[in-house]
Every structure is written in structure tokens, then in C-alpha cells.
A and B are shown apart, each in its own frame.
Chain A
Amino acid sequence: MIWIDTIVQGVLLGGLYALFAAGLSLVFGIMRLVNLAHGDLIVMAAYLILVLVTLLGIDPFLAALIAAPFLFGVGWLLQMHVLNRTLGPDILPPLLVTFGLSIVIQNALLEGFSADSKRLSVGQLETASLALGPVNVGVMPLLTFISAIVVIVALNRLFYSTSLGRAFRATSDDAVTASLMGVRPQNIFATATGIAMVVVTIAALYLGTRANFDPTIGPARLIYAFEAVIIGGLGSLWGTLAGGIIIGVAQTLGAAINPEWQILAGHVAFVVVLLLRPRGLFPRAVD
């Protein structure tokens, strides 16, 4: 029974990692841009939610709802005026620029909020739990997992059932030919990053409500996100969810054996998948 409980908790933790990774997967899938500042953007969004909660005295969920459109704008402007300039055949410029951005965000947050760790409080929800058959699950981990599924389903519908989604995929295939269809690749990239920032806001909400955060934890979230994306197959959204779950389950199983093994077990699972399936579990056919 303990093992079933451990696996269920791992699956739910995987939802959080999938949320970390979904925005990264979206951006990589469309413009082949590896955003090294992704983890720091999640932390920045968590601080923005915290500021709104503190200033307006509102619930973190409502604060995230207010922060999401603002962060969409931040993502749009960041892509349009900074990251679009780095895109091209050479992969080094976007890596360098987003690495620099990561350092800027961390230091700005340290300057503005100090190194003290913070947390978003959701009151009784933090400790509430539900009995699901033989195991009890926390309401917040369950909400996190459901949110991850909703985000993945929504992004898939956007990608495969809308005109904007067709434009995303066409631009990803061939930006020059897409422009001959009336698509402006620069706008498409900016919109994609804007949407990724909305997903980042959701990830930040659950990051901040489930654990303490401080300005320096972004790079570690980036690593989990990276591993989930790579395990799932670059650019595959359902694969990203599967990747998150694999890391989550590996971490909880590792922790059940020895608490010191939690983080290591996640990384080991990543290496094992990479050895067995170098292109991930669900690689895109056209990559």
C-alpha cells in the first residue's frame, strides 16, 4: 500500500514538473529556442503573484488570474524586442542572451525581495486532503495535476484545432514559406512566448503554494523542466506530461528508499530514458 501511495504522490508531483516544462516545450517546439531563463521567469511570476497578494490582499488564485495577462504582455515584448533578434541558424545567441537574462532576473529579484524565502498561502487548502480509494491525496497536489492536464489539453487544442495553431506549426516548419501565407513569424513567435508566460504564471502559482521559493531556485526548476521536455520528446506536449510524471515518480520512489536519493533518482531516470530513447518517448516525426 505504501508503494501505491508513493507512486500516486509521484504522479501528482509530475503534474508540477509538467507545468514547469509545458511553457519551455511550447517555445522550443515552435521556434527551436532553448530559454535558459525559463526557471527564473517562473520564480519572477511567483514574486509577482506574491506582490499582488500582499498589496491587494487577494487570494493567490485571483492574483495569478490578474498576473497572467500582464505576463503574457511581458513575454510578447521580451520575444518581440529581445529574443527575436537572436533567432537564426546559430543556436549560440539565444543561449547566451537567455543565460544573461537568467542572471539579470535573479539579481533583480535579490535586490527587490532579498534572499529570504517566501511562500504563497492558500489557507486550509494547503493541508486539505481527499481519500481516493486506498490512498489519501492532498488537494493542492491534485489541483496541480489537474491544472497540468488542463494546460496540456488546452495547448493541444490550440495547436491542432485553431488557425493560430496551424500558423504556429507552419512557422515552426518553414518561417519563410509561412510568411507567403500571410503569417508574420515575428508576431507568431511573440504570441507563443506570451502564451508560454501564461503557463509560467500557472506553474508559479503552484510552485509558490506548495513550497518556499527564493530568487535563486530558478535554475533548478529549469533542470526539471528540461528533463521533462527531453524525456517526453522535444516539442511533444503530452510527452512533456509523461516526462514530468516519470521524474516525479522516480523522485518519490527514490525518497521512499532513502530521502537523500530524491533528487538524484529523478536525474537517474532522465539518464536512463535518454540512454534507451535518445529522442525521447514521443519525438515529433518531422524533427
Chain B
Amino acid sequence: MALLQTENLTAHYGDFQALFGVDIRLEEGETVAIIGANGAGKTTLMRSISGVLRNQPEAIVFDKDRIGSTHAADIVKKGIAMVPEGRKLFPSLSVEENLLIGAYGRKTDGPWNLESIYSMFPVLKERRTNAGTALSGGQQQMVAIGRALMSNPRVLLCDEISLGLAPVIIKDIYAALPKIKETGTSIVVVEQDIGQALKVADRVYCMMEGRITLEGSPSDLSRDAIHNAYFGASA
């Protein structure tokens, strides 16, 4: 059985249905990319897995546990951490405090601590006493990734980590993902930037209008198939 799996997952915002029977799975040690245009339901999927949206108790399985109705705080303790879209650093906390708060729900020790985060992103050590929100966009993204890693998660959910960043910075950020994977952490990357996603992923899901429209390994998927799944066949 997969480490993380959604089974016929639906999600609603009031009367509006955002996800329609989404099935994805993530194996231990795997990196999965979820691509799709704006409004495809990628962030809703991440919010559902991380416990921010709690709709269906039975639809999400993590390590044989049904976690669909579990509070976000308990999901972190179970081993799923999220890098939220827009980074969402805490303005009243310094860089180091932003990292430390990531370990608030930590239950087990693991490879990630302040030292290993600073070793992966040395610039953060230099800026550790600065307010998190005083950093550049790329540095803030590093803090957001480091903050999520501080809980030593088994699964890292990365929601749009390239959003609003310059290409050279995106390259630096994405260079960290293989290092994270080497520690045994499984990764889900949600991206609009198809090129970046395909470079790091073992498997790819494409979403459109709340549904999975394509699944496969990057090497097996043709450019046309991705184009059709991303924009719709008639696009």
C-alpha cells in the first residue's frame, strides 16, 4: 500500500465543489508532481491532505491511517508537513523563530534541525535574527521549506514553491529537493511550472477543473498529452 493515498476525494467551499473524486498515491521515498493551471484544484488538494480542509474522513489514507477528518496540527505530528502557497511566514517571528516553530509538533527526531537547515541554506544563518518577512522572496521560500522540514516529516507537501520568484532563484530552490529526498522524505510538488516539476518528479499527475486528467512518469508522457491534460483537449 502507498504511503499516502487519496481515494475518490471530493472537497467543497460552501456550495462550490472544488475536487471531484481525486485519486492520487505517493510511495515511500518518491517525488510526485501535481501540475495544472490556476484553479485546477491543486492547492485544494494540498489543503485537504494537510488537514486545513476537512471534508471526508475516509478519503485520505496515510500509513494505513484514515486521516481525512484529522486536525491539521495532528497531521503534522503524524508526519505530513506543508510548505504553503505564498510562504506564509509569521511576521512577528525572526527567521530562526520561524524555523523553530516548525518543530512545535515534532514527535520524533530525524535528520532535520537548525544546523542541517542552515547547512542547506547558509544565507538563513546569516539572517537568522531578521524578521522572516524582511527577507527576499527566495530567502523567504527557503525559510518556509526549512520550517516544514523542522518537523522531520515523512511527507513534504510543496505548494507552488516557485510562485513569484526569479528563474535563477527557482533553480536554487529546486536544487534543494533532491537533497531532501536523499534523507528519505517523500515529496509532493504542486506546480504551474511544468518544466521544473518534470525535472524533479518520479511521477506526474495533471489536474484540470478538480479532476485528475493525466498520470504517468515524466519520460512516458508526451508533450501533447500534457498539453491536452493541462488545458483540455480542445485548447
Determine how close the nearest CB of chain B comes to the CB of A220; give it in whole angstroms.
32
Q: Which of B71, B92, B104 contacts A181 (CB 8 A)?
A: B104
Shortest beta-carbon distance, A235 to chain B, in Å?
9
How many Å lie between the Cα of A169 and that of B50 in the bound state? 22
| Chain B residues with CB below 8 A from A163, complex form | 100, 104
Contacts of B4 in A (CB 8 A): none
In the assembled complex, which residues on chain A have CB atoms less than 8 Å from the CB atom of B105?
181-183
CA distance A177 to B100 in the complex (A): 14
A111 within 8 A of B: no
The answer to whether A179 and B101 touch across the interface, beta carbons within 8 angstroms, is: no
A180 at the interface (CB under 8 A from B): yes
Q: Which residues of B contact A264 (CB under 8 A)?
A: none
- Asked whether B12 is an interface residue with its Cβ less than 8 Å from the other chain, the reply is no
User: Which A residues lie within 8 Å of B52 (CB)?
Assistant: 176, 179-180
Give the size category of B's interface with A.
20 to 34
Contact across chains for A173 and B104 when beta carbons are under 8 A apart: no
- Given the known interface contacts A173-B92, A174-B90, the answer about A180 and B104 at a Cβ–Cβ threshold of 8 Å is no
Contact B72 A286 (CB under 8 A): no
- For B77, the chain A residues whose CB sits under 8 A away are 182
**Contact of B92 with A167 in the complex, beta carbons under 8 Å:** no
Which has the most chain A C-beta neighbours within 10 Å: B50, B73, B148, B151?
A: B73
Residues from chain B with Cβ under 8 Å of A170 in the complex: 90, 92-93, 101
Give the Cβ gap from A283 to chain B, nearest Cβ, in Å.
13
Q: Is A166 an interface residue (CB 8 A)?
A: yes
CB of B97 to closest CB in A, whole Å: 5
User: In the complex the two chains form, what is the Cα distance from A31 to B90 in whole Å?
Assistant: 15
State which residues 240-266 of A face B: CB under 8 Å. none
In the assembled complex, the Cα of A173 lies from the Cα of B101 at a distance in Å of 13
CA distance A286 to B91 in the complex (A): 7
Min C-beta distance of B46 to chain A, whole Å: 10
Kindly supply a per-residue 1/0 record for chain A positions 70-87, scoring 1 wherever the CB is within 8 Å of any chain B CB and 0 otherwise. Answer: 000000000000000000
Give the complex CA separation of A193 and B90 in angstroms: 22
Q: How far is the CA of A173 from the CA of B98 in the complex (A)?
A: 12
A184 interface residue, CB < 8 Å from B?
yes
Q: Are B151 and A181 interface neighbours, CB within 8 A?
A: yes
Give chain B residues whose Cβ lies under 8 Å from the Cβ of A181. 73, 76, 101-102, 104-105, 147, 151
CB contact between A173 and one of B93, B106, B148 (< 8 Å): that residue: B93
Cα distance A166–B147 in the bound complex, in angstroms: 13
CA of A179 to CA of B91, assembled, Å? 16
Given contacts A166-B104, A167-B104, A179 and B73 within 8 Å (CB-CB): yes
Question: Chain A contacts of B82 at CB under 8 A?
Answer: 180
- Shortest 10 CB-CB distances between A and B: which pairs? A182-B105, A179-B72, A182-B76, A177-B88, A173-B90, A286-B91, A170-B90, A184-B73, A169-B92, A182-B104
Using CB atoms and an 8 Å cutoff, list the residues of chain B in contact with chain A: 50-52, 71-73, 76-77, 81-82, 84, 88, 90-93, 97, 100-102, 104-106, 147-148, 151
Selected A-B contacts with CB under 8 Å, 6 pairs: A166-B100, A166-B104, A170-B93, A180-B50, A180-B52, A180-B84
Beyond A172-B92, A181-B102, A182-B104, list 9 extra A-B contacts (CB 8 Å). A169-B90, A170-B93, A173-B93, A177-B84, A179-B71, A181-B105, A182-B105, A182-B106, A183-B73
